C-alpha cells in the first residue's frame, strides 16, 4: 500500500514521442503514434491460423493408470 501511495503522489511521468515513421516524418499526435505502435506490434502479436504445421511435442512424461 505504501508503494501505491508513493506512486500516486509522484509527479514524474514519462512521455513517449515524438516518433518517426518509415518515411522519416516526425509524428507527434497521439493518434499517429498509436497507429505506429499498432503497426509495429501487430506484426509480432498475431493469431496463428494454420494449426496443422505445429510440431508434435515429445512425450517425456507418460502417466499410466
Domain boundaries, the chain: 13-45
Predicted confidence (pLDDT) per residue in 44-64, tens digit:
776 767 777 777 777 676 666
What's the pTM value of the predicted model, to 2 decimals?
Answer: 0.49
- Express as a percent the part of the chain with pLDDT over 70: 82
pLDDT at site 63 = 64
pLDDT at site 42 = 82
Q: Which residue has the higher pLDDT, 47 or 8?
A: 8
CB of 36 within 8 A of CB of 19? yes
Whether the pLDDT of residue 18 is over 80: the answer is yes
What are residue 26's DSSP bridge partners?
A: 20
Q: HSE, CB side, 13 Å, CA atoms: give it for residue 10.
A: 9
- Express as a percent the part of the chain with pLDDT over 90: 26
Amino acid at each position: 500500500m505504501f508503494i501505491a501511495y508513493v506512486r500516486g503522489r509522484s509527479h514524474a511521468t514519462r512521455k513517449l514521442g515524438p516518433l518517426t515513421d518509415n518515411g522519416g516524418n516526425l509524428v507527434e499526435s497521439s493518434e499517429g503514434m498509436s497507429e505506429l505502435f499498432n503497426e509495429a506490434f501487430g506484426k509480432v502479436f498475431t493469431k496463428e491460423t494454420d494449426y496443422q504445421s505445429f510440431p508434435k511435442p515429445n512425450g517425456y512424461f507418460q502417466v499410466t493408470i
